[in-house]
A and B are shown apart, each in its own frame.
Chain A
Amino acid sequence: MIRVALGLELRNLLRSPLRLLVLLLVLGAGSFVIAQGQQDVKRWQEAIAAGQAAQEESLAEARGYFAEGKKGPADRSWVDLTQPHWQDYYAATRFARLPAPLAGIAFASAESGAVTVRLNRFADPLLAEGNRIENPALAVTGGLDLVAVLALLLPLLIMALGVEIGGYERAAGVLPLVRMQSGHDRSWIWARCVAVGVIAASAGLLLTAMATLLAGASPVSALPLALLVLAYVVFWTALLGAVAVLARNPSQGAVALGAAWILLCVLIPSLGSERSAALAADDFALDLTVQARDAGAATAQLKEDELYEALFARFPALAKQAPEPRSSGVRAAAGGMGIISLEKRMRSREKRGEAHRKLVTTMSLASPTLSFSHALEGLAGRGPDAARAFRFAVADAVAGRVERTIAGTWSGAPLDVEDFEALVAASPTSFETPSTAWGASLATLVAWTLALLGGATFWARRLDQ
């Protein structure tokens, strides 16, 4: 029956210019945003390359001074590359956040975390900015990338192809005929819905394959994307089936499907967005601005013992290298308080971020569209989770620099080119965006689908009775 239904739906598609137009619109928009996504990834890679070029320039300058036996540039007498803090300054290595294999599919994501950070002991990952200059007037529309095409337009394609299923059969009196011929009128309706789902899934998978091929991503990394697209199509097909089984005429079906799309793709996400604005209402980043600026002054007020205690708690290895008398190392030790304060700020930000993340999780349960788009952003490495992971990696690298600088200053021995190269070699260069869990989103989609199928069967039986 499904083969017959598929043949019918394909003929309907080819005969109806409107349906064909919708399909071409989805495929055209999808192809265009895939190309745009690749452009965005290219710009990302260019930003990393520009950072690396600047890094090489700075390293070459320092190596030149070492080769000429100089301590630094002739017009800056205070620069001394034998000192740890000047080595830290000139070893301006860039820590790059590499784009995930499928980064292009979510280029319109609102997350604009940094993609490269110049490492030194003062680097602040909380203040580092992304490589893009955003036009807020365009960003506020939500953007159109492959995530938006799949999340918003794919359901519309299913609706355009299948809006009359069930309602048309009932209104035109076709169902008794089907029942007489095959004995299962509802199976015919479901077969038609599945056929529509197959066409939509083909379109979705075609776009997925294009995005994967153009990005040069491995099939393994594309597998979760394909699975999620399939699960999303199955959900909307189930919704189409549920409406088709219950709709008395095509107009009732159209209004029911339209209302469901509006509820799941617009209203519930909008409610989430409003709640997110409420969560962020009182956050003017005092901890990152006024308090962070004045934290340095508070360090100066610390007693020597308190200072060392705090420093050794964070860097236990330094305890063995502490200078005697300890008062001679206070200035260098105070330099370590910056990273301790930064890590404290990051932990406090984590707590605030947790509320937003919980909100997204809750809202994702309420809307399969939100769950789907959230999972896709995670797969693309464009969500806040990826940005946060990079921030923590930068903080770790900064802590490494701080520890090295303090130990070097306390030892008092002049450093040479080998120390400089060791510092460069010890600095991390690239960060692989971790793949976020997508299983929960897949489970949400499956649960919604099962609930819809169960609900539709229950209501259909009640109507029969």
Chain B
Amino acid sequence: MIGTLFLNEWRAVLRDGSGKVVLLLGALLAFGAAWTSASTHDRQEFAQSAATHAARSAWDQREGDSPHSRAHYGDFVFRPNGPLAYLDSGLQAVTGRVIYTEAHRQNTAMHKPQQEAASLLRYDRLEPATVLQLLAPLVLVLVGFGVVSNERESGRMRLLWIQGVRPMPLLLAKTLALWSLGTLLCVLIVGAQLIFADQMDLGRTLTFLALHLLLLWIVAALVTVVSARTRRPGTSAAVLLSLWVLCGIVMPRIAAMTASALDPLPGRDAFQAAMQEDREQGLDGHNPRDARRQKFEKEVLAKYNVNSRDELPVNLGGLIMQADEEYGAQVWDKHFGELEEHLQRQDRLAGTFSFLNPIQATDRLSMEIAGTGLSSHLDFLRQTEDYRRELVRKLNEEDAYGVTRNDEGRLTRTTTHGFYTGFEAFHYEPLGLRDLLGQRSMELAALFAWMLGTTALLAFTAGRFERRGIL
């Protein structure tokens, strides 16, 4: 019976002129979004690769530097796209694209070119994730707001009742029909990616697909329940559109504002001043009269069993720079660790709204699956800092040990150009899907609670009509 009712629903949608228009518009938007997003993504990948290559060429071609000069010359890390950024670009519009890695300093990610169109950044991009999280639910609302109430108003419901159709199979068939419509959009978008995108991470793509199918099931069930429980299609449309506006547009903003109002981040000046204060407790690599530096020098002289730095077989400057770096790394770990914890705390606070809003839960999970969420951003910053430390450590060690003392007792540098060209460029290894989803257990729990809740509501509504004998 469910199969017959399901097919009937599809026939009704295809017979209805406005249903066809909505479906066609939905399909066009899905296809258009997939195309533009893939095209933007490809250009971005190409430009990122070209920028990385330019930075590497500059590094390789530079000549005549001492290792310490090279540490100040530094390197640039250009943020790669997430593995599924063509489906969901996540935070990439609001995070910097370049990090300058150099000695003594940990720089933040800079350059957000879309800020030049800041007024537009208030709104979501029209990309596949937006289509699936915002527009596909809207398509289901527009196609389905009268899915039960229209039938009741026209009297067809009574006819079905007389023919022996029970409420549960009827509501289930209508929900499945709506959901299959959403599934069609999902498959269309993922299918379009197969055409437009160069590469595809199958595991992530299937998880992305499953996530959005789950959301669309929740939406389809809600649409059917609201349509069944309201007397007029107009009321059903008003209620469902209000819910859509609330969940899709208003609530995510309220969640973000609540999190930043309840647990505000420190100002940049205060943060940098606190870090600077701690940093000044360490060695000052450029200040020879610094007391801590003199103590360190004595330790090195004792280690090599010599009386003066002129007798050392190594360059003391390089050792001091590295000791300073290691101290600076501790300061960075402390302050950025606290900041990272703060960012995640705010994010968790905003995430609790997922229990009120399934679209928000889906959005947060979708970004993580795509490798463009907060966890991936913080991981990218950590990997860049690891790269910077390794780069500076190698250069400092070469500065210290890449020397020989000649017959006149003067240090001569033995560093070759090959030493510099032997450095490996930064390579970002994205976090695994399991790790990312593990950090989003709250959103997963919220989404499953929504799925169970809406399905139970569907069964409850059907049961209520069964008891009362009317639809």
Interface set of A (CB-CB < 8 Å, partner B): 29, 32-33, 36, 43, 46-47, 50-51, 75-76, 108-112, 116, 127, 129-144, 147-148, 152-153, 156, 163, 167, 249-252, 254-255, 258, 261-262, 265-267, 269-274, 276-286, 288-290, 293-294, 352-353, 356-357, 359-360, 363-364, 370, 373-374, 377, 382-384, 387
Are A143 and B289 touching (Cβ within 8 A)? no
> A22 to chain B: closest CB distance in Å?
9
Are A50 and B116 touching (Cβ within 8 A)? no
Residues of B near A156 (CB, < 8 A) are 245
- Give A377 to B116 CA distance when docked, in angstroms: 13
Residues of A near B51 (CB, < 8 A) are 284-286, 289-290
The residue from B126, B253, B273 contacting A144, defined by CB atoms under 8 A apart: B253
- Give A15 to B175 CA distance when docked, in angstroms: 36
B17 at the A interface (CB under 8 A)? no
Are A281 and B47 touching (Cβ within 8 A)? yes
Are A274 and B127 touching (Cβ within 8 A)? yes
Interface set of B (CB-CB < 8 Å, partner A): 33, 36-37, 39-41, 43-44, 46-48, 50-51, 54-55, 58, 73-74, 76, 78, 89-91, 93-95, 97-98, 100, 108, 110-127, 130, 134, 138, 142, 232-235, 237-238, 241, 245, 248-250, 252-257, 259-261, 265-271, 273, 287, 289-290, 339, 343, 346-347, 350, 373-374, 377
* A43, A50, A284, A289 pick with most chain B CB within 10 angstroms: A284
Are A143 and B350 touching (Cβ within 8 A)? no
Are B118 and A76 touching (Cβ within 8 A)? no
> A249 to chain B: closest CB distance in Å?
6
> B109 to chain A: closest CB distance in Å?
9
Whether A138 touches B347, Cβ cut-off 8 Å, given contacts A133-B268, A359-B120, is yes
A-B contacts, 24 listed (Cβ < 8 Å):
A36-B257, A50-B269, A75-B287, A110-B115, A110-B118, A135-B343, A136-B94, A137-B374, A140-B91, A152-B249, A152-B250, A255-B234, A267-B126, A270-B125, A277-B40, A278-B40, A280-B114, A282-B46, A282-B47, A284-B47, A356-B114, A360-B117, A364-B119, A382-B118
- Give A388's nearest chain B residue, CB to CB: B116
Residues of B near A357 (CB, < 8 A) are 116-117
Residues of A near B122 (CB, < 8 A) are 108-110, 142-143, 147-148, 269, 373
Residues of A near B43 (CB, < 8 A) are 278, 281-282
Residues of A near B343 (CB, < 8 A) are 135, 137
Residues of B near A261 (CB, < 8 A) are 245
Residues of B near A276 (CB, < 8 A) are 114, 117, 120-121
Are A129 and B110 touching (Cβ within 8 A)? yes
- Give A377 to B119 CA distance when docked, in angstroms: 7
The residue from B114, B233, B252, B268 contacting A47, defined by CB atoms under 8 A apart: B268
- Give A163 to B241 CA distance when docked, in angstroms: 12
Are A352 and B91 touching (Cβ within 8 A)? no
> B440 to chain A: closest CB distance in Å?
12
- Give A389 to B185 CA distance when docked, in angstroms: 45
- Give A274 to B287 CA distance when docked, in angstroms: 51
Whether A370 touches B119, Cβ cut-off 8 Å, given contacts A50-B270, A136-B377, A137-B346, is yes
- Give A231 to B122 CA distance when docked, in angstroms: 21
Whether A270 touches B118, Cβ cut-off 8 Å, given contacts A133-B339, A141-B253, A286-B54, is no
Q: Give the 3 A-B CB pairs with smallest separation, nearest first.
A: A251-B234, A110-B121, A356-B116
> A98 to chain B: closest CB distance in Å?
16
Are A272 and B241 touching (Cβ within 8 A)? no
- Give A364 to B122 CA distance when docked, in angstroms: 13
Whether A142 touches B47, Cβ cut-off 8 Å, given contacts A109-B118, A254-B241, A284-B98, is no
* A167, A262, A277 pick with most chain B CB within 10 angstroms: A277
Are A258 and B377 touching (Cβ within 8 A)? no
Residues of A near B245 (CB, < 8 A) are 156, 258, 261
Residues of A near B90 (CB, < 8 A) are 140
Residues of A near B259 (CB, < 8 A) are 135, 138
Chain A-chain B contacts (Cβ-Cβ < 8 Å), number: 269
Are A285 and B267 touching (Cβ within 8 A)? no
Residues of B near A262 (CB, < 8 A) are 138
The residue from A273, A294, A377 contacting B126, defined by CB atoms under 8 A apart: A273
> B197 to chain A: closest CB distance in Å?
14
Residues of A near B234 (CB, < 8 A) are 167, 249-252, 254-255
Are B55 and A290 touching (Cβ within 8 A)? yes
Are A258 and B94 touching (Cβ within 8 A)? no
> A71 to chain B: closest CB distance in Å?
16
Residues of A near B248 (CB, < 8 A) are 266
Main secondary structure of the interface of A (DSSP, over half): helix
- Give A293 to B289 CA distance when docked, in angstroms: 31
Residues of A near B98 (CB, < 8 A) are 284-285, 288-289
Are B237 and A254 touching (Cβ within 8 A)? yes
The residue from A47, A142, A373 contacting B267, defined by CB atoms under 8 A apart: A47
* B121, B339, B347 pick with most chain A CB within 10 angstroms: B121
Are B119 and A373 touching (Cβ within 8 A)? yes
- Give A251 to B234 CA distance when docked, in angstroms: 4
Whether A143 touches B256, Cβ cut-off 8 Å, given contacts A133-B271, A152-B250, A270-B124, is yes
- Give B52's nearest chain A residue, CB to CB: A284
- Give A307 to B344 CA distance when docked, in angstroms: 51
Are B118 and A111 touching (Cβ within 8 A)? yes
- Give A138 to B120 CA distance when docked, in angstroms: 16
Are A280 and B113 touching (Cβ within 8 A)? yes
Whether A290 touches B58, Cβ cut-off 8 Å, given contacts A133-B266, A273-B120, A274-B127, is yes
The residue from A36, A137, A152, A360 contacting B347, defined by CB atoms under 8 A apart: A137
- Give B121's nearest chain A residue, CB to CB: A110
- Give A76 to B288 CA distance when docked, in angstroms: 9
- Give B339's nearest chain A residue, CB to CB: A133
> B65 to chain A: closest CB distance in Å?
11
Are B116 and A353 touching (Cβ within 8 A)? yes
- Give A138 to B94 CA distance when docked, in angstroms: 10
- Give A136 to B54 CA distance when docked, in angstroms: 28
> B93 to chain A: closest CB distance in Å?
6
- Give A369's nearest chain B residue, CB to CB: B123
Residues of B near A266 (CB, < 8 A) are 123-124, 134, 248-249
- Give B375's nearest chain A residue, CB to CB: A137
- Give A156 to B76 CA distance when docked, in angstroms: 47
> B425 to chain A: closest CB distance in Å?
13
The residue from B94, B127, B290 contacting A139, defined by CB atoms under 8 A apart: B94
Residues of B near A360 (CB, < 8 A) are 117, 119-120
Are A136 and B287 touching (Cβ within 8 A)? no
The residue from B76, B142, B237 contacting A290, defined by CB atoms under 8 A apart: B76
- Give A22's nearest chain B residue, CB to CB: B242
Identify 16 new A-B residue pairs, CB closer than 8 A, beyond the known A271-B126, A273-B117: A110-B94, A110-B114, A133-B271, A138-B260, A143-B122, A254-B241, A270-B124, A273-B124, A273-B125, A278-B36, A280-B116, A286-B50, A294-B58, A352-B113, A356-B113, A373-B119
Residues of B near A116 (CB, < 8 A) are 269
Residues of B near A131 (CB, < 8 A) are 267-269
The residue from A51, A289, A370 contacting B269, defined by CB atoms under 8 A apart: A51
- Give A464 to B47 CA distance when docked, in angstroms: 59
- Give B43's nearest chain A residue, CB to CB: A281
- Give B57's nearest chain A residue, CB to CB: A290
> A161 to chain B: closest CB distance in Å?
13
